[in-house]
Structure formats: structure tokens, C-alpha cells
Amino acid sequence: MSHRGSRVLRLDALARVEGEAALHLAVRDGTVAEARLRIYEPPRFFEAFLVGRGHGEPPDITSRICGICPVAYQTTACQAIERACGVTVDGPLAQLRRLLYYGEWIESQSLHIHLLHAPDFLGHPSAVELAREHRAAVERGLRIKQAGNAIMEQLGGRAIHPINVRVGGFYHVAAPAELVPLADRLRRAHDDALETVRWVADFDFPDARYDGPFLAMRDPGRYAIDSGTPAVMAAGAGSDGATPVRALPVEEFERHVVERQVPHSTALVSELDGHHYLTGCLARYALSGQWLHPSALDAAREAGLGDPATGAVCRNPFRSIIVRAVEVAHAVAEALRIIDAYEPPSRPYVAVPPRPATGCAATEAPRGLLYHRYAMDADGTLTLARIVPPTAQNQAAIEDDLRRQVQSRLDGPGEPPGDEELTALCERAVRNHDPCISCSAHFLDLTVERG
């Protein structure tokens, strides 16, 4: 094909991501002039129609934002409302919440690893083709996912959009005997998860590096998921063994993370103190890797991720599949620990009486930090709702990653890449970040403009 003049390539859809979007790539004189991730899904308006609802309603409503990570939305909504009302949920109820969240981590991360991401590394267009050659690996991934689903069904009432979660706790809590079958499945899943780490560690990984800031929750002594404080690791930090980190109190989140509208996307684009940044598994591993469960930490070292206790940081987005596999191993081990120590709470929930106040909270959804803020009046009617999802936060960093990946290939040896090769490269680069596009406003209609 000729690389002079202009050329447009259109793809109707990108497989193996959650949602739909488009990518516009402009290459002029051998230089990537533009890379725009165009999220064109209609705005969801969840923030608008939460206004006027009662303060107990956000967990059920916001869980509908995503069928893959509903627990993240429920947990963050609950915590924000509870903080506004001056209520703390702790003890066994907090442990059950974390267990439910681990169930989501297990099912969501396993789905991405085995069905969405692994085909990229093994040369298959889908998980169906992958299963023909790697049947045992795919079946292993499905077993792990089923263990996560079982946790969500037991504690949440169902695996998708759980119905047992409420502000203050749960409508019903499990008896210890009801968790025994979960423990049996999780013990098998733990072996499967460690084997998955070994499996993905043997993939071939292109050279790539993200040097921007990381943003993730941090809770010293614990690999943060539903607790802690947002924290930032500076651009380029961590590679020399030093890990300078600054806390960003959740009450100050919106002073530092600013959303803006761009013409090419229905999702708002976020900047952290004026710069794009990355949230998600690479950020979590950089900021909290030293507090992984010992079995997961050993697996990370054996997989070549280095020792986060000495400042090792993974900045190659292609290797994110290893980090996610390590996180699954961690989640399974921690879920087992919670079940083994479980004692039922005296009551299924703590009362959360309304008051005129504002509350905010952040937790770690599988795809990254999720922030909620709510204001209410004296009778608990919501007067404001603000939700900042992970994929919208990552949009600018993904675009920058695309520019760098394509430019590196254009500058490399050999014949200039054709549209088919560039398309495959861009799809892989986007899938490294496991975007949940419907949360952010679905991929891929790709336009390549050459000149």
C-alpha cells in the first residue's frame, strides 16, 4: 500500500473489551500527529438522576453502571454516604464487605486475563480459538472466575448487580457454615491462580514503558482495595528503588483531579494536577505491592516483577497481565483468610440516619480508583452526586500510550507498518489497560489517517 496522501481504515468493533468506542489515528510524514480515543456511547446520566433520591438508594442504582464491577460502585457509594452521616462500618461487617469485593476482583480479573487479554499474546483472535490450543488454561481461568462469582452470589444475592448490599452493611449476613463451600472452592482456586501467574509470566512481552504518575489507594500494611487514602507516585519514580509517594486525602480529590470535556468523547477526561496519569493494577502494585499476601508476593517475584518491598515497579503496560494474575492470587488468599476467621456480626447492618452533610469515598475497582461524592439534606434527599470512574481517568494516558506505541513501531526497522498491523497494535495497547468503557460514559471503530 502507499503511505503517501491519506488513507482511512474503519473497523466496526474491537473485540475483547467491555463496551464500544472509536480510535482516530493520524500519521503524517512518519509521525503520529494525533491519537484520540473517542468514547461515543451516550452519556449515562447517573449523577443527574441520583439527585432527589433517598440516601439509601445509591448502592442499588450505581451498581447498574457496570455489570462487571457492580460491587465497586456499591461499596464506594455506601462509604461515601456513611461518611456523610458520620457512621463507621467495621468489624465483621467490614470483613464481609471486603470478602464481597474480593469476589468481584477474582471474577473480573480472571475474565480479563483468560478471555480478553491472553489471546493477544498467543496469537488467537478470541478465547474460543485460544481454548482449542490451551484448553486447560481457559478451563482453569473459568474455575477461578466461578469461585469469584460464588462469593458474590452468597454474599450479594446474585453475581451481577448484587441485591443484598445496603448502606450500613447487608440485608442478610451468612452463617459460618454457609461459607464452608466457598472456602473449598477458593482452595482449589488458589492453586489455579498461582499456576496462572506462572503461565502468563512465560508470555513474550514487547518493550514498552509508562513514565507518568500513578494514582491508587494506599493503606500501609494492606494491599488497598476498600480502605486507605488516595496516593500518587511521581512520574518515572520507582525504577531506582526509591518510591516517593504523596498522600492525596480523599476530601481533596477534586482539587487535584480535574475533569474536562473534550470534543471527541462523551466521557470526561481527567488530569491530575494538570497531567495525565494512570490508575489500575500497575499503580496499585507500585504503591502497595509490598503488602501483597505472602503467596502472591512470592509469585510476583518468581514471575519476574521484582520485589516491591525494595522499590520494584512494573511500568510496562503489556506486563499488566502478570500483575492482574498476581492480584487474583492475592484476592483468593485473602478471601480464604477472611472466611477462616469469620464470626457473624451481631446484626446485619449499622443504622445510618441522615443529616445535612457531604461525604466522599474512594475504593479500588478492578480497573482502578473509583471516587464518589454525595450531598444530602436533613431528610436524606440527595442534592448532589459526583462519580469519577477509572477508565475515564485513564483515557488521556491510554491515548498517550497509543501515540508512543505506534511511533515506536513507525521508527523501528523494516517496512513501514500497514493499517492491519497498526490496528492490531492499537487494540493490544488498549486492552493492556482493560478499559470498561460503559463505566466511563464501548471500542473499536478505528480510523487511520495518513498524510
140 to each of 5, 100, 150, 151, 431, how far by Cα in Å?
Answer: 49, 21, 15, 17, 21
* 442 marked ligand binding residue: yes
* 113 marked ligand binding residue: no
* 426 marked ligand binding residue: no
CA separation for the pair 17, 430 (Å, rounded) = 9
Give the CA count within 13 Å in the CB-facing half-sphere of 13: 10
Residue 361, φ and ψ in degrees, nearest 5: -160, 160
* 65 marked ligand binding residue: no
CA separation for the pair 410, 233 (Å, rounded) = 31
CA separation for the pair 108, 436 (Å, rounded) = 11
Residue 434, φ and ψ in degrees, nearest 5: 45, 55
CA separation for the pair 276, 289 (Å, rounded) = 22
CA separation for the pair 231, 202 (Å, rounded) = 31
CA separation for the pair 438, 69 (Å, rounded) = 11
CA separation for the pair 292, 294 (Å, rounded) = 6
CB atoms within 10 A of CB 9: 16
* 66 marked ligand binding residue: yes
- DSSP state string for 253-264: HHHHEEEE--TT
SS3 418: coil
Q: Which residues of 283-300 are buried (b: 16+ CB within 10 A; e: fewer)?
A: bbbbbbbbbbbebbbebb
* 322 marked ligand binding residue: no
* 129 marked ligand binding residue: no
CB neighbour class for 204 (10 Å; exposed up to 12, middle 13-18, buried from 19): exposed
Q: Which residues of 112-125 are buried (b: 16+ CB within 10 A; e: fewer)?
A: bbbbbbbbbbeebe
CB atoms within 10 A of CB 163: 13
**Residues at the annotated binding site for Mg(2+)?**
47, 387, 442
**Residues at the annotated binding site?**
47, 66, 69, 387, 436, 439, 442
**Residues at the annotated binding site for Ni(2+)?**
66, 69, 436
**Residues at the annotated binding site for Fe cation?**
69, 439
